[in-house]
């Protein structure tokens, strides 16, 4: 018979899932139209690109970034969906392009439980497909005839590329600091979340102060998202992740939980992590050994608390503004991010 604590946790989890469903239901019809726009654009693409993009987009994904843009636009007062749907497709294509390039750089073999694009079509074709998607995204965005939108997209794309360069510099190094990890999370993940929220604000015609508040909301939500991603590498199964457990470390990436574990003075942590980085494989050190020492060090709780802090900061950016269903959805979205399991 389950304990009262276990039953309470189960009930809270069901409530969170129901709330998440309600969030996405608010923009469900628009997300269907985003999906149709993605299909239309990729079907009309150059055949080698179309094949890779259709494969990647068909591999699942929550379409969280388009949903954030759509919710932000409605929150900001946008009533016409046309531009928001197009830009929802734009940010998903940009995200897809970064995933293709990420997998090439990381020599990843799987993505969302399936062979990655580079493992199926090779690095050269995959890189060119990613480049093509960037160009397609900007071509679509030009249809809005709005330089402010282009400025936002160019800025976030530059930051994501800078994030990749920062990560390349840190690959295989054990001296990565908390500041380094959070800077990388900002550039690689949070800037796109921030851009989605800012685009929604622009579409809704918010003044600069409101636009900045929504952009900060997106940035904090994105940081929480990345921290949860880092945590899942130590707490989820390979089936949930859609890739091997501790794949980040195998690829030479030292994430925040590992940084905290080494800071917390675990006697074996630094030596074991250094060995995996040197071998680029789990040969003399087993993944479960690393997972155990990170759990024992209290690093997971520390990283989880920081994720909750960022989620709280995201909600605070809304400043209790409005009581519409879209405002309530944005206030709930950080909780959905914290509760996700993949």
Which one has a higher pLDDT value, 28 or 16?
A: 28
In whole angstroms, what is the distance from residue 153 CA to residue 193 CA?
Answer: 12
- Written as six digits, the tokens of 76 are 């900001």
pLDDT tens by residue, 256-305: 999 999 987 666 888 999 999 999 899 999 999 999 999 999 999 999 99
Q: Is 4 within the bounds of a domain?
A: no
- Output the domain CATH number for residue 156: 1.10.600.10
- Say whether pLDDT at 32 is over 90: yes
Give the pLDDT score at 24: 87
pLDDT at residue 106 in the model = 86
Give the pLDDT of residue 265: 63
Report whether pLDDT(43) > 90.
no
pLDDT one-digit tens code per residue, 224-265: 999 999 999 998 877 777 777 888 999 999 999 999 999 876
User: Would you state the pLDDT for residue 1?
Assistant: 38
Rg (CA), the chain: 20
- Is 176 a domain residue? yes
Question: What pLDDT does residue 16 have?
Answer: 43
List pLDDT tens digits, range 3-14: 444 444 444 444
- 250 domain-assigned: yes
Over residues 136-140, the mean pLDDT reads: 95
Highest mean pLDDT among 30-39, 58-67, 230-239: 30-39
Assess contact for 178 and 264: CB atoms under 8 A: no
% the chain with pLDDT above 90 = 72
pLDDT at residue 205 in the model: 94
DSSP state of 59: T
Question: What SS3 state is found at 251?
Answer: coil
For position 341, what pLDDT does the model report? 73
Domain count, the chain: 1
Asked whether residue 3 is assigned to any structural domain, the reply reads: no
Q: Are 196 and 225 in contact (CB under 8 A)?
A: no
> Phi, psi (5° rounding) for residue 116?
-70, 165
Does 7 fall in a domain? no
What is the extent of the structural domain holding 184? 12-339
What stretches of the chain show up as alpha helix (H) in DSSP?
Answer: 4-26, 28-43, 47-57, 64-75, 82-106, 117-121, 123-142, 147-170, 178-185, 191-203, 208-235, 238-241, 247-250, 256-263, 269-279, 287-297, 299-316, 325-339
Structural element, H or E, at residue 110 = strand 110-111
Mean pLDDT of the 169-184 span: 95
DSSP state of 111: E
Q: Choose between 266 and 340: higher pLDDT.
A: 340
Report if residue 2 sits inside a domain: no
Please report whether residue 1 resides in a domain. no
For residue 15, is pLDDT > 60? no
pTM: 0.91
Whether residue 102 is contained in a domain is answered as yes
Query: In this predicted structure, what is the pLDDT of residue 19?
Result: 64
Taking residues 89-109, what's their average pLDDT? 92
Kindly tell me if the per-residue pLDDT of 17 is higher than 80.
no
pLDDT score at 240: 78
């Amino acid at each position: 018979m389950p304990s009262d604590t276990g039953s309470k946790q189960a009930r809270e989890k069901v409530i969170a899932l129901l709330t998440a469903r309600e969030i996405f239901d608010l923009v469900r019809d628009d997300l269907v139209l985003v999906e149709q726009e993605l299909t239309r654009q990729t079907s009309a693409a150059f055949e080698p690109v179309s094949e890779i993009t259709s494969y990647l987009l068909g591999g699942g994904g929550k379409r969280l970034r388009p949903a954030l843009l759509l919710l932000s636009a409605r929150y900001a007062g946008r009533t016409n969906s046309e531009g928001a749907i197009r830009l929802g497709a734009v940010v998903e294509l940009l995200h897809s392009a970064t995933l293709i390039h990420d997998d090439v750089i990381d020599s990843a073999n799987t993505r969302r439980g399936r062979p990655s694009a580079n493992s199926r079509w090779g690095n050269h074709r995959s890189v060119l497909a990613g480049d093509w998607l960037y160009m397609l995204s900007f071509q679509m965005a030009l249809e809005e005839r709005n330089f402010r939108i282009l400025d936002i997209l160019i800025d976030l794309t530059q930051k994501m590329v800078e994030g990749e360069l920062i990560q390349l510099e840190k690959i295989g190094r054990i001296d990565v600091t908390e500041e380094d990890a959070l800077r990388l999370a900002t550039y690689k993940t949070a800037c796109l979340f921030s851009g989605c929220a800012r685009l929604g604000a622009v579409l809704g015609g918010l003044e600069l102060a409101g636009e900045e508040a929504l952009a900060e909301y997106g940035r904090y939500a994105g940081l929480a998202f990345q921290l949860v991603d880092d945590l899942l590498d130590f707490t989820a199964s390979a089936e949930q992740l859609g890739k091997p457990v501790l794949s980040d470390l195998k690829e030479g990436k030292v994430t925040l939980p590992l940084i905290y574990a080494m800071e917390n003075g675990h006697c074996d942590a630094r030596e074991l992590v250094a060995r995996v980085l040197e071998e680029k494989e789990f040969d003399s050190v087993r993944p479960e050994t690393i997972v155990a020492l990170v759990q024992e060090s209290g690093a997971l709780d520390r990283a989880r608390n920081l994720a909750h802090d960022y989620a709280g900061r995201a909600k605070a950016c809304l400043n209790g503004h409005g009581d519409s269903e879209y405002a309530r959805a944005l206030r709930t979205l950080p909780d959905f991010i914290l509760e996700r399991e993949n």
